[in-house]
Amino acid sequence: MNQTFIALIIFIAILIFVSLEKINRTVIALSGALLFILLKILNQQEAFSAIDFNTIGLLTGMMVMVSIIKRTGLFQYLAIKISKLAHGNIFYLLFFLSIITGILSSILDNVTTIILIVPITLAICENLEISSIPLVLSEIFAANIGGTATLIGDPPNIIIGSAAHLSFMDFIINLAPFVLILLILLPFFVRLFYKKEMSQNVKEAWGRVEKFDERKAIEDPALLKKSILIFLLTILVFIFHHNLGLEAATVALVGATLLLLVSNIDPAETFLEVEWSTLFFFIGLFVVIAGVEKVGIIQWLSNKIITLTKGNLTLTTLAVLWVSGISCSFINNISYTISMVPVVHNIGAVTSFNLNPVWWALSLGACLGGNGTFIAAAANLVGVNILKRQGRIITFKEFFRIGLPIMLISIVLSSVYLYLRYLS
């Protein structure tokens, strides 16, 4: 059997097994990576140099920072404070909680956002004696949408930013305004599915929520002040990181180390919260894709795309957007994005396209596709599992009934946005 065929089989097997989630995804990615080395498709040197340490460093830095800041209780404080603005109107509550989830998720990873916001939502709903399902679902969708807005919001963006040398501000300028529109539209759309729940009268029980004292959520005021200062400083440096000639990973790691320095928290304790498994999943995938690229599969795929779209930038951009959105509703968006990066690079090399719209299409498709099914993104599974522990089961079908239309509408709107802004 020739190497191309073997590489293709390993690659497809990885995509299938990672999506089935029967075996741990990191183990699958590492096994695939090592198979490429054992079968001599790549040597060790090639494999190691395929790992994008800018992505790994940025992810690690952000994980350390978030693990320290979340101890302060700041995010709970914000969630309670904003919830109170609803003044007993369930739709307003859904609206405000979705917006804050989307905004937080643009600076935190989606799973952390869900872990922080959903429990507060449950506390509010139980005190109001209303169903938490519409709110939690809306928060899950908002987390996936909000993550699309920035370089650090969702892993596909980190991968794309690093591969295409797109800065923090590039994402803010090109994606954030459109994502904000999607975020604002989301609660109105969720309301269509839960009309009855949204019209309940909770004026009487609202007093209980009013009594929530958000100041008590702040666990360590001294750490809070230091963390906010360093976090804002880090974001400020992120805004100028390209002008300063600094890679995103450097900025995140400096922020993380500074925070470790001033917080006086034992690094060993903080590092326990770093998701090593996710980092090694990335490492395994980078090696796998380098193998797939070496045997020429990526080259073949990008040539096919160019032929099918007749070398037309508009068609290529829209094809990348739709294929990404639909694929990422079913397969893991990290593995998908890592696979697509060399494809887009190749398209750029063969054609004379300005690749930026294609990168934004990849980002929008990969991130927004996460809303399609509940297996599509980690935040979905985490949110649904928290509800399950409360005895509220959301089936694949129930999630799909709302998630799929939300995904499709957001991809349609993305098509319009990309066309009007970059292609017309």
Q: Binding of other proteins at residue 118 (CB under 8 A)?
A: yes
Q: Binding of other proteins at residue 213 (CB under 8 A)?
A: yes
8 A C-beta contact, residue 209 and residue 124: yes
Give the shortest CB-302-to-other proteins separation in angstroms.
45
Q: Binding of other proteins at residue 212 (CB under 8 A)?
A: yes
Question: Which of 90, 97, 116, 202 is in the footprint of other proteins by CB under 8 A?
Answer: 116
Q: Binding of other proteins at residue 356 (CB under 8 A)?
A: no
8 A C-beta contact, residue 357 and residue 423: yes
How many CA atoms lie within 13 Å of 51's alpha carbon, on the beta-carbon side?
16
Give the shortest CB-66-to-other proteins separation in angstroms.
13
Q: Is the dihedral of CA 361, 364, 365, 366 positive or negative?
A: positive
- Candidates 61-69, 212-220, 252-260, 271-279 — which segment interacts with other proteins by CB under 8 A? 212-220
Question: Which of 3, 51, 390, 419 is in the footprint of other proteins by CB under 8 A?
Answer: 390
CA-based nearest residue to 367, from 329, 338, 397, 319: 329
- Candidates 118-126, 138-146, 294-302, 326-334 — which segment interacts with other proteins by CB under 8 A? 118-126
Q: Binding of other proteins at residue 126 (CB under 8 A)?
A: yes
Residue type, 157: N
Cα(28)–Cα(288) distance, rounded to whole angstroms?
11
Q: How many residues does the chain have?
A: 424
Q: Binding of other proteins at residue 122 (CB under 8 A)?
A: yes
Q: Which run of H or of E encompasses 160? A: helix 155-164
Cα(235)–Cα(291) distance, rounded to whole angstroms?
35
CA-based nearest residue to 78, from 129, 138, 120: 120
If the CB atoms of residues 126 and 266 are measured against other proteins, the closer one turns out to be 126
Q: Considering CB under 8 A, how many residues would be counted as binding other proteins?
A: 25
Cα(282)–Cα(286) distance, rounded to whole angstroms?
6
Instruction: Phi first, then psi: give them for residue 21, nearest 5 degrees.
Output: 60, 25
Fill in the per-residue mask, 47 to 86: x = in contact with other proteins (CB under 8 A), - = not in contact. Answer: -----------------------x--x--x---x------
Question: Which of 211, 243, 245, 268 is in the footprint of other proteins by CB under 8 A?
Answer: 211
Q: Binding of other proteins at residue 120 (CB under 8 A)?
A: yes
Binding site for other proteins (CB under 8 A): 70, 73, 76, 80, 116, 118-120, 122-123, 126-127, 208, 211-217, 219, 386, 389-391
